[in-house]
Structure 1
Amino acid sequence: MNRKCKKIALITPSLAKGGLERVVVETAQGLEKWYDVTVIVMDTFRTDYPYAGRCLDLEISWEDRRIAVRFYNFLKSIVSLRKLQKKEQFDLMIAHGELTSFPAILSAMSACVPVVHENRLNALKDLQGRATNFLLRLFFKRGSVKKIVTVSEGIGKSLQCGLEIAPSKFKTIYNPFDMETIRSAAQKIPEGYEGIFMPSAKVLITVGRLTHPKAQWYLLRIFAELKQKEETARLLILGIGEMKEELLELCRALNLSAFDGIEEQVPGDTYDVYFLGFQENPYAFIRQSDLFVMTSLWEGFGNTIVEAMVSGTPVISTSCPSGPREIICPDLPEEAIVAKPNEEGSGVLMPTFENRFVGEDEPLSNVEKVWADTIYELLHDEKKREIFSKKGLKRAEDFRRESIVGEWKEMIELVLNVE
């Protein structure tokens, strides 16, 4: 490789399943046309998003959450990155997420650009959250940080205010999507799952980790109400996470029959809710569904909303910070309160939920009732679903990989003062 070609390192915690990891690989593939690209992985314990280019593994695991072990691995990652920089002489390091950004900044011998995928300032109030916020304020003001990239405008505005850093240092670059690959993968349902999508069924789908921020318990409560009026309704939940047992228990309490993709191998066609775990090809499930639903309390961007749009499935989503509103209704002011269903964008933007777990004992809130009614109406209005499908396909084009990678190139050249 000619040394005149700038050397760019993209750093990721892993190449395992996750929106951040996919973004790193998509971006690296796009930047190869102009730069000498290396992907640095903290730990390749599993590879769900393979990268065909040059990839280096630091073999530093973050699975053990004990404070002493994490602190040791933090120091180890700083040392490893500094050694690698001395050897490779990178012109720029682009670090995705806090696990890579903090050690990259502290080890930096060249320009560094952290990429923020989550709104940590508002999301976490526990000890870990407060520590993360402190480190953000401490590290992001260092001289080696030439630019701070956020995956949504909402994250950028929150950080500007919370960190007291000049707006000029921030740049929002949305996540890239390979439209053709998604559409190709969406064409065929994996063998054994066809029975879920029988013509008479009304199928809802959500995709995301089973964690508190995704708030799938609200979706289960709403779905139980929906079933009172729409007996053919089915709910697919794709993803894994620590809240799975709580969600299964809630299904039992709400008298919803649930398929457990871990315990059972072949899904029948008589369940109400299907927990299908992680799927390598979620797009096929999304495309076959009638509605994509997101009930998150907060998001960094909302990758699955765009993936649903690309797949041609209409979207109904909470207006939580930060990404859904920007994707679905980009012209709606951030401060505008969504108190009722907003159908003016490329999907249906809905009121948000309280940030707390709600079980089966509490009656449905007014917000949950509005959700149930809106979903029911959409399921029975094929023309409206078709309109939102077309609007979604058009909006998704704004996130095409080629144009997003072009924004990355402009930012990189600005940082490195490339003429």
Structure 2
Amino acid sequence: MQKPFISLFIPTLDGGGAERVMLHLAEGFAVRGFDVDLVVAKAEGAYLSKIPKTIRLVNLDAKSPVLLFKTLALKQYLKQEQPNFLISTLDIFSSAMWAKRLAGVSTQVVMCVQTNLSQQFQDRHGMLMQKLKWSVVQHFYPWADAIVTASAGVARDLEQNAKIPMQEMTVIHNPVVTSDFVEKSQETVTHPWFAEGQPPVLLGVGRIVKQKSFTTLVQALALVRQHCPARLMILGDVDGREPEVKPELDGLIETFGLQDDVLFPGFVENPYAYMAKADVFVLSSIYEGFGNVVAEAIATGTPVVSTDCESGPAEILNQGQYGKLVPVGDHEAMAEAIVSTLNNPMDAAVLRVRSQAFTIDCIVQQYLDVLNGLQAIQPSTQPSTVGVI
């Protein structure tokens, strides 16, 4: 019998961690010979040009209100294409499950939770909206045929706040080490900061938002420089939903007199090359779902300092075995950990071995184990060309 037809559903292909995960999963399924659709509510974002030819992109082109129209468009897609499985993420209001029920199809839906929802809701919403969203998650996520979380911390958060038992979820870490990862990490970076004889470079990666708490990292840099020379580079775009964060960072940098030693190159297509050349990778986040960049950094062999935030980094670093963990928001502890790491970096080979737990092949197999547990392999239907861009 033929392999099943697998679809992955995500709002857009913006340059975030969840989008990268879905792209990597789609690629991993395609490499194994599955028919794969990557279904987006809107065909936009930094990763739009990164989709391999082996993956079909389906643009639902949802209009406002997006929640309603993406659900109706997804219903039509499911009714027409009838994939065996639909893996959905960034789907708080369970559009995938509503679409399945409205379409009346047998497609089995896997809800993939990529972030610590209680932290995200608290960060973005008032108490009333937080309660509403948790109510939606509690009532509709159990409709899914399976729930996968990116970390055990995310699963615990769902159990505590949505009353979904841990045993009804499967923890599968994110796939970050691609087949061309080593090649990309060895690409040349021409920036003069990485030239021989220059001061050590600390690297942060992520959207310029409050969640990433780059203010903590800037404050830590100011303390580090009291002990040794160092510079800080932060890769990532300013998020249009939080435009005030970058000016606040700029003000803090000016206060410490760090204008010549902190750089914001913006979004870069290949952050792995920068990670490989940095002296220490630092995650300063208030919360994460998994912390893809931590796993990526250790895959390049670069030592890591991370906040012990909910959720993910401690799991990646095995409670501090593979990198130093510091309390959230504690710039003094972060500075101390950075100085210690600069003086005694962890063996790169040890870090690379650890990163093999996060290869695409390893993680895709874990997803296939979940899918195989849901139903026997069924013949795939040949996808049509309607709605493809």
TM, length-normalised to structure 1: 0.81
Taking the aligned partners of 2:44 and 2:341, their CA distance within structure 1 comes to: 42
1:84 aligns with 2:77: yes
Query: Structure 1 CA distance, aligned partners of 2:282 and 2:111?
Result: 30
Report the counterpart of residue 299 of structure 2 in structure 1. 310
Match of 2:88, SS state, is strand
1:187, 1:284 within 8 Å by CA — same for their partners in 2?
A: yes
Q: CA RMSD in A?
A: 2.0
Percent identity for Structure 1 against Structure 2: 28
Matched, 1:278 2:278: no
Tell me by how many angstroms 1:6 deviates: 2.0
Q: Return 5+ residue gaps in structure 2 as ranges.
A: 379-389
User: 2:341 maps to which residue?
Assistant: 378
Shift of 1:29: 1.8
8 Å Cα contact 1:22/1:49 also seen in 2: no
Q: Who is 1:102 aligned against?
A: 94
Cα distance between partner residues in 1 of 2:23 and 2:153: 24
CA distance in 2, matches of 1:148, 1:178: 23
Q: 2:226 is paired with a residue of what secondary structure?
A: helix
Partners of 1:197 and 1:378 in 2: CA distance: 20
**Structure 2 Cα separation of the partners of residues 303 and 152 of structure 1:** 11
Please say if 1:397 is aligned against 2:356: yes
Unaligned runs of 5+ in 1: 62-68, 258-270, 333-341, 354-366
Distance (whole Å) between structure 2 residues aligned to residue 177 and residue 217 of structure 1 = 26
Give the aligned residue type for 1:347: G
Q: Residue 119 of structure 1 contacts residue 300 of structure 1 at CA under 8 Å; is this kept in 2?
A: yes
8 Å Cα contact 1:147-1:169 kept in structure 2: yes
- Distance in 2, matches of 1:297 and 1:218, equals 10
Higher relative contact order (CA 8 A, sep 6+): 2
Q: Using the alignment, how far apart are the partners of 1:29 and 1:370 within structure 2?
A: 39
- Residue correspondence of structure 1 range 192-341 to structure 2 within 5 A: 193-230=191-228, 232-241=229-238, 242=243, 243-257=245-259, 271-329=260-318, 332=319
Identify which of 39, 48, 59 aligns with 2:61: 59
User: For residues 141 and 282 of structure 1, do their structure 2 counterparts lie closer, same or farther at Cα, with a shift above 3 Å needed?
Assistant: same
Tell me what 2:4 maps to. Answer: 6
Q: Quote the offset at 1:42 in angstroms.
A: 1.2
Alignment-mate amino acid for residue 163 of structure 2: E
Contact between 2:306 and 2:326, CA under 8 Å: does it hold in 1? yes
Letter in 1 for 2:286: L
Name the structure 2 match of 1:352: 328
CA–CA distance in 2 between the matches of 1:371 and 1:404? Answer: 31
* Contact 1:43-1:59 at 8 Å conserved across structures: yes
1:218 match: secondary structure: helix
Alignment length, in residue pairs? 360
Go from structure 1 to structure 2 and tell me whether the alpha carbon gap of 1:301 and 1:7 turns closer, same or farther (over 3 Å shift): same
Q: CA deviation at 1:196?
A: 4.5
What is the Cα deviation at residue 222 of structure 1?
A: 1.1
Query: What amino acid sits opposite 1:251 in the alignment?
Result: I
1:9 is paired with a residue whose SS is strand
Report the CA distance between 1:34 and its aligned residue.
Answer: 4.9
For 1:190 and 1:60, the matched residues in 2 are separated by: 39
Cα-to-partner distance string for 1:254-288 (whole Å, 9 max, x where unaligned): 2111xxxxxxxxxxxxx210111101111111111
Q: 1:189: how far off?
A: 3.0
Q: Which amino acid aligns with 1:385?
A: P
Q: 406-415 or 182-191, which moves further after superposition?
A: 182-191
- On the 8 A contact 2:234/2:265 being kept in 1, the answer is yes
The aligned residue for residue 153 of structure 1 is: 152
Amino acid at match of 2:358: F
* Matched residue SS, 1:316: strand
SS in 2 for 1:124: helix
Aligned twin of 1:184: 183
Deviation of 1:177 after TM superposition, in Å, equals 2.5
Q: Which letter maps to 2:345?
A: R
| Distance in 2 separating the partners of 1:77 and 1:218 | 38
Query: Structure 1 residue 37 and structure 2 residue 36: aligned?
Result: yes
What is the TM-score normalised by the length of structure 2? 0.87
Task: Select the residue among 364, 374, 387 that pairs with 1:415.
Answer: 374
Secondary structure in structure 1 of the residue aligned to 2:247:
helix
